[in-house]
Amino acid sequence: MFDEMRPQSGGVRAPYDNIAAWLEATGEETLRRRQAEAEALFRRIGITFAVYGQGGDPERLIPFDLIPRVFGASEWRKLSRGVRQRARALNAFLYDVYHRAEIIKAGIVPEALVYQNEAFLPDMVGFDPPGKVYSHIVGVDVVRTDAVDFQVLEDNCRTPSGVSYMLENREIMMRMFPQLFASCAVEPIDEYPSQLMHTLQEVAPPACKGEPNIVILTPGPLNSAYYEHSFLADLMGVELVEPSDLFVDEGKVWMRTTRGPQRVDVIYRRIDDAYIDPLVFRPDSLLGVPGLFGAYRAGAVTLCSAPGAGIADDKAIYVFTPEMIRFYLGEEPVLKNVQTWRCSLADERDHVLANLKDLVVKRVHGSGGYGMLIGPKATKKQLADFRAQILAEPDDFIAQPTLDLSAAPTLCSDAIESRHVDFRPFCLVGKEVRLTPGGLTRVALTKGSLVVNSSQGGGVKDTWVLSD
């Protein structure tokens, strides 16, 4: 296991020099007191999330660890190049598969993997979204296993969540430890809301002639990420709307207000494709806006991200992202993929079944840590159940090696110990590609656990990128 602060070779890695000194000078007792203060602040502010189907408190705090995760300037330069490159390639792939499908004709991506995928929307074929951008907010989940290499675990091209925690974690840390920030050259992240606003403005539809009216569309307060929806709307100074607040009239989208209907030009949607418009997708949906998809197709409004963008973050499609980079950009991938076996292929499926106890198995459309098997931690019954599921529905599963994720110092119940972490930066794509120097670090708080998802008991850390 690679320890990000104290490698096995001894000493402290340079990016953590100030953190190591701060931890020693502060002491665990003071850290625990400040940890409790931070949790009280999160509770008072209302930074919570919901876990569906688990009973108990529907709004919980995501555990916050106040020891930051740190990237040096050179590490961030590599990450930044790789994430930007990936966001460009994924958008190029989306444009291609909804138009000429050159990557399929070239024999690189199997036709069935795209056209028989539930995330592919035939209604989007031939349509050009503004700027040819399909995925406007790309969340790339990155892990590292040694001092040099970063690997991409998966891509999130639809509605990646977590940016509110990135911003709030930083706010809490700056409020509680101003002297620590004064001693460290940490890149700021507070420009993210304005960068998101610029990105959404840049993709205004052709029908918009002036400054676009932008809204954030939420399913409502019961959604697990509702806090983030309202938080971003507040920071950006735009309206947070539910589907009932919108209507379509004469091909245009309007928002109901106390001053009468107001035209809407750009919708940052935080609802799934199936719930956009009951006239096109699910007729039983109470969340959709009738006629919204038709207005989008007519160029009267922009939906961010575009319907059908989910085909690019499907876990079976993920396997081909390095080839997308070579095919569309003519570049070598900066960030590696994690080795992945597709259970839809007989020889790869045989390998997975023969090594099930050593692998991580995921559902192609799963998320949030659900529908996943961690072989080394699984019981005999869990292994047997997954074996049966793979045999019954091989196309629904991929497998990856059990990575020895890097670990970062974490304030645990008994001591400061290393816990496994991953990282999600948020890349914005409009006329420009923008990447805030930071992101969401998730930490597996249970000793030995590799599952960092908040829905599965993981926590979060502030992420520092040091300037040169």
CATH number for the domain spanning 363: value is 3.30.1490.270
Highest mean pLDDT among 38-52, 82-96, 144-158, 223-237: 82-96
Instruction: Note whether residue 218 is domain-resident.
Output: no
- In whole angstroms, give the CA distance from residue 395 to residue 343: 6
Instruction: Note whether residue 130 is domain-resident.
Output: yes
Same domain, 56 and 130: yes
| 231-235 mean pLDDT | 96
Q: Is the pLDDT at 50 greater than 60, yes or no?
A: no
Please, are residues 90 and 135 in contact by the beta-carbon 8 Å criterion?
A: yes
The pLDDT score that the predictor gives to residue 336 is 95
Asked which of 354, 373, 401 is the last residue of a domain, the reply is 401
Same domain, 347 and 451: no
Q: Is the pLDDT at 449 greater than 90, yes or no?
A: no
Please, are residues 326 and 334 in contact by the beta-carbon 8 Å criterion?
A: no
CB neighbours of residue 370 within 10 Å? 12
**Which ranges in 332-412 belong to alpha helices (H)?**
346-354, 380-392
Mean pLDDT of the chain: 92
Instruction: Note whether residue 32 is domain-resident.
Output: yes
Instruction: Note whether residue 249 is domain-resident.
Output: no
Same domain, 369 and 461: no
Instruction: Note whether residue 232 is domain-resident.
Output: no
| 268-287 mean pLDDT | 92
Asked which of 401, 420, 440 is the last residue of a domain, the reply is 401
Q: Can you read off the two tokens belonging to residue 345?
A: 């292929």
Q: Give the 3-state secondary structure of residue 274.
A: helix
Same domain, 196 and 345: no
The pLDDT score that the predictor gives to residue 51 is 52
The pairing of strands 336-337 and 302-304 is unpaired
Same domain, 344 and 312: no
Instruction: Work out the pLDDT band at 294, boundaries 50, 70, 90.
Output: very high
Please, are residues 305 and 157 in contact by the beta-carbon 8 Å criterion?
A: yes
Q: Give the residue numbers spanning the domain of 25.
A: 14-205+301-335+403-465
What backbone phi and psi angles, to 5 degrees, belong to 42? -60, -40
Same domain, 150 and 105: yes
| Residue that the structure tokens 């196309």 belong to | 395
Instruction: Note whether residue 240 is domain-resident.
Output: no
Same domain, 185 and 147: yes
Instruction: Note whether residue 279 is domain-resident.
Output: no
Instruction: Work out the pLDDT band at 223, boundaries 50, 70, 90.
Output: confident
Please, are residues 85 and 328 in contact by the beta-carbon 8 Å criterion?
A: no
Instruction: Note whether residue 173 is domain-resident.
Output: yes
Same domain, 129 and 172: yes
The pLDDT score that the predictor gives to residue 422 is 95
- In whole angstroms, give the CA distance from residue 319 to residue 103: 14
The pLDDT score that the predictor gives to residue 348 is 96
| 222-237 mean pLDDT | 92
Q: Is the pLDDT at 380 greater than 60, yes or no?
A: yes
Instruction: Work out the pLDDT band at 370, boundaries 50, 70, 90.
Output: low
The pLDDT score that the predictor gives to residue 53 is 47
Q: Is the pLDDT at 54 greater than 90, yes or no?
A: no
Asked which of 384, 401, 418 is the last residue of a domain, the reply is 401
The pLDDT score that the predictor gives to residue 329 is 98
Q: Is the pLDDT at 328 greater than 50, yes or no?
A: yes
Task: Please state, in angstroms and as integers, the Cα–Cα distance from residue 186 to each residue in 70, 72, 167, 406, 432, following that order.
Answer: 9, 10, 14, 21, 24
% of the chain surpassing 90 pLDDT: 80
The count of domains in the chain is: 2
Same domain, 201 and 91: yes
DSSP 424-454: E-EEEESSSEEE-S--EEEE--STT-----G
The pLDDT score that the predictor gives to residue 145 is 86
Its pTM stands at 0.93
Q: Is the pLDDT at 250 greater than 70, yes or no?
A: yes
Same domain, 377 and 450: no
% of the chain surpassing 70 pLDDT: 96
Same domain, 396 and 407: no
Same domain, 348 and 201: no
